Chains A and B, each alone.
Chain A
Amino acid sequence: MSSNPQTDPALEALVGQKYRHGFVTDIESDTVPPGLDEDVIRLISRKKSEPEFMLEWRLKSFRHWLTMREPHWAHLRVAPIDYQGISYYSAPKSKANAPKSIEEVDPKLLETYDKLGIPLHERARLAGVAVDAVFDSVSVATTFKERLAKAGVIFCSFSEAVRNHPELIERYLGSVVAYTDNFFATLNSAVFSDGSFVYVPKGVRCPMELSTYFRINAANTGQFERTLIVADEGSYVSYLEGCTAPMRDENQLHAAVVELVALDNAQIKYSTVQNWYPGDEQGRGGIYNFVTKRGECRGANSKISWTQVETGSAITWKYPSCILTGENSVGEFYSVAVTNNYQQADTGTKMIHIGRNTRSTIVSKGISAGHAQNSYRGLVKILPSATNARNFTQCDSLLMGDQCGAHTFPYMEVRTPTASVEHEATTSKIGDDQLFYCLSRGISEEDAVNMIVNGFCKAVFKELPMEFAVEAQNLLAVSLEGAVG
């Protein structure tokens, strides 16, 4: 029974809680004044002591961004964003330079992550997980570096990677998400401040879970992190990210870019538990989560698997995608997106089949409550070269309450007769029959709903690493607080 995450008593305990990561850490910050021009970009690059090629890349991106127009989406209501009103760099001013070890990290920061349930001391709870902690614009600590180094795995902040492994950065940065890709990715390319970098060498199975914990703290800042994961031939890595932010009345912009590269026979498993501040019951405040995530299965027999549990943010706009270039490569997308109150989510994936015998699976579960709008948007594209390609998509929506919306927008473009593409979707409310069945077994309505919703999401939760599956279920219960009945 203990293997069944549904039995965790924490689930019950958490029902009825509000957003619990909404506190602010009182720490002195080095924050660049709001505004964006080439000087700000030069300043960010200088602060990070970047090599020339990085600065050039940033400026190229910025100049391109100036020619782009902010996108407008049919199904999202976005308050105007003042790009000159955002501070593009904010770092806790603890020590003159980045700390060399955990012992040097400001105790206030350690305490913050403790409070978030992410202890950075290596002997603490997450003993099997290496953590890179990103606080506002910079990485403040990375754990288990030495143990990983022994295996040959590079896991460090992006800034550090730029300094210590410039050849890897130059080779892979922007190789999956070009600096011209889209408005927010291009902005990120110009101003990104930090993030995580992972390189797993040939034939290495990363000995532990890697994770990055993102925290927005300062007001009026945007967070623009960049993550790059390269899995060399025959390697394996499982990576997960968590995100939280304080409760503030204004919207804050989070525009991240994640690039994954899997070479021959490599596997990357990327999991996200996104719990940015969603705004209050009236829809005030909350994070605008406009994220570009894309992986390329560059090598034969490679595999990239995205799993996401999206419960936070005022608006979520992201489509973790796979470009299946290598023969026999596999792309997967498992998603639970929960929206309550006035949250909006427009999320899904793109599976681009290029290589022969490529396969993809999409499982999306959307839950909408309150006044929220929840859309699945997905593209399955089978190019003529992708003979025998296979896709299966299952896309279900659950509606809780009569003021919310749930939408499904799949696009299937098939140009190979030997391909097979299958899509199924359903939208319904929680079945009265199911509810009554549970009630007649003595279970309270709230528990019954939780049980049914968790069951609805099970196909996705089972893809999460154990430590996060429980966390994800807890989040679900918290997010749907007040949605029942």
Chain B
Amino acid sequence: MLKIENLQVKAGDKQILKGLNLEVKAGEVHAIMGPNGSGKSTLVQVLAGREGYEVTGGTATYNGKDLLAMAPEERAREGVFLAFQYPVEIPGVNNVYLLKAGLNAIRKHRGEAEVDAFEFLSLVREKMKLMQMDESFLNRGVNEGFSGGEKKRNEILQMAVLEPALALLDETDSGLDIDALRVVANGVNSLRRQDRAILMVTHYQRLLDYIEPDRVHVLSGGQILKSGDKSLALELEKRGYDWIRQGAAAA
């Protein structure tokens, strides 16, 4: 579904990704782990089309299409979803309104009819139950005055409603206490499907206790240094990142 080859990305004068390779197939959950500043967030931001990065080499194809050539909204309509690490507040813009506008844009793109208000509300209510969100959420502005945990839950709620084919989760566990983490992880797990891929980026192994990945990659210095199954994450937790970096340097 997603194929990244030799991806090189600069932010300002700084080379962040230095030839990254990754392939994610439908139905798979991949976790990218790495120390701070290794380029994890850059990777998902670039995949979602964030401005401010310069792709200096390599490719990213999504279902055979050149992902990097698409505008951010096109990517979203094609089924790419980014759950933000720091979801932005948009004062005065209603949560549900944004969600409905997004969903309808995606449906229109697929040639489907727009959902009517009634249908939509019952859909959102159902997903809200899953994310244990309060009814008052419906009337609030996008992330306006939300706690850190509420913002993260809102991200997964959006994912549940928009039903992407490829979900990119950027540090979704950061800032969550253990109870909130369970709720968020439950939400994500319920969205695992044969035709959907999930790529999550995280600093800690903790999230992977709740969302079990098929593959784990270690990103450091702008490259994937090691890939393995979920046991790799446990090993990282125990031994840190240095042994991999040393191994890579030796090789």
Residue positions of A touching B, CB distance < 8 A: 1-2, 4, 6-7, 431-434, 436-445, 447-448, 451-452, 454-459
Contacts and interface: CB of A to CB of B under 8 A. Distances in A.
Nearest to B71: A439
A306 B88 CA distance: 32
Contacts of B109: 442
B76 A437 contact: no
Max chain A C-beta neighbours (<10 A), residue from B51, B106, B142: B142
Contacts of A432: 51-52
Nearest to A462: B92
28 contacts: A4-B96, A7-B117, A433-B88, A434-B88, A434-B90, A437-B84, A437-B142, A438-B90, A439-B71, A440-B49, A440-B76, A440-B84, A441-B98, A441-B105, A442-B77, A442-B102, A442-B103, A443-B73, A443-B98, A444-B105, A447-B101, A447-B105, A451-B101, A452-B90, A452-B93, A454-B92, A455-B92, A455-B141
Chain A binding site: helix, strand, loop or mixed by DSSP? helix
Nearest to A1: B117
Contacts of B48: 440
Interface string B79-119: 00110100110111110111111110110010000000100
B97 A442 contact: no
B101 A443 contact: yes
Nearest to A444: B73
A458 B49 CA distance: 29
B92 A440 contact: no
Interface of B: 48-52, 71-73, 75-77, 81-82, 84, 87-88, 90-94, 96-103, 105-106, 109, 117, 120-121, 141-142, 158, 162
Nearest to A6: B97
A436 B162 contact: no
A424 to B, nearest CB: 13
Contact of A442 (B52, B73, B87, B93): B73
A439 B102 CA distance: 9
A443 B93 CA distance: 13
A193 to B, nearest CB: 40
B243 to A, nearest CB: 36
A2 B96 CA distance: 12
A456 B71 contact: no
A279 B180 CA distance: 55
Given A1-B120, A1-B121, A4-B97, A442 B76 contact: yes
Contact of A456 (B84, B91, B158): B91
A452 B141 CA distance: 11
B102 A6 contact: no
A113 B176 CA distance: 58
Contacts, number: 98
A437 B92 contact: no
B90 A437 contact: yes
Given A440-B48, A455-B141, A6 B73 contact: no
A376 to B, nearest CB: 18
B72 A439 contact: yes
Contacts of A447: 101, 105
A441 B76 contact: yes
B98 A451 contact: yes
Contacts of B51: 432, 436
Contacts of A436: 49-51, 72
A195 to B, nearest CB: 34
A432 B49 CA distance: 12
Given A439-B76, A454-B93, 7 more contacts: A439-B71, A440-B72, A440-B73, A448-B73, A451-B93, A451-B101, A456-B91
B152 to A, nearest CB: 14
Contact of B105 (A1, A4, A442, A454): A442
A365 to B, nearest CB: 10
Contact of B117 (A2, A440, A442, A443): A2
Contacts of B49: 436, 439-440
B14 to A, nearest CB: 19
Nearest to B80: A440
A434 B100 CA distance: 17
A7 B97 contact: yes
A455 B162 CA distance: 22
Given A1-B117, A6-B97, A443 B102 contact: yes
Contacts of A456: 91-92
Nearest to A456: B92
Nearest to A438: B98
Contacts of B73: 439-440, 442-445, 448
Nearest to B120: A1
Contacts of A440: 48-49, 72-73, 75-76, 81-82, 84
A154 to B, nearest CB: 38
A1 B100 contact: yes
Contacts of B91: 455-456, 458
Contacts of A431: 88
A437 B102 contact: no
A445 B73 CA distance: 8
A372 B56 CA distance: 38
B92 A457 contact: yes
Contact of B100 (A2, A7, A439, A459): A7
Nearest to A448: B73
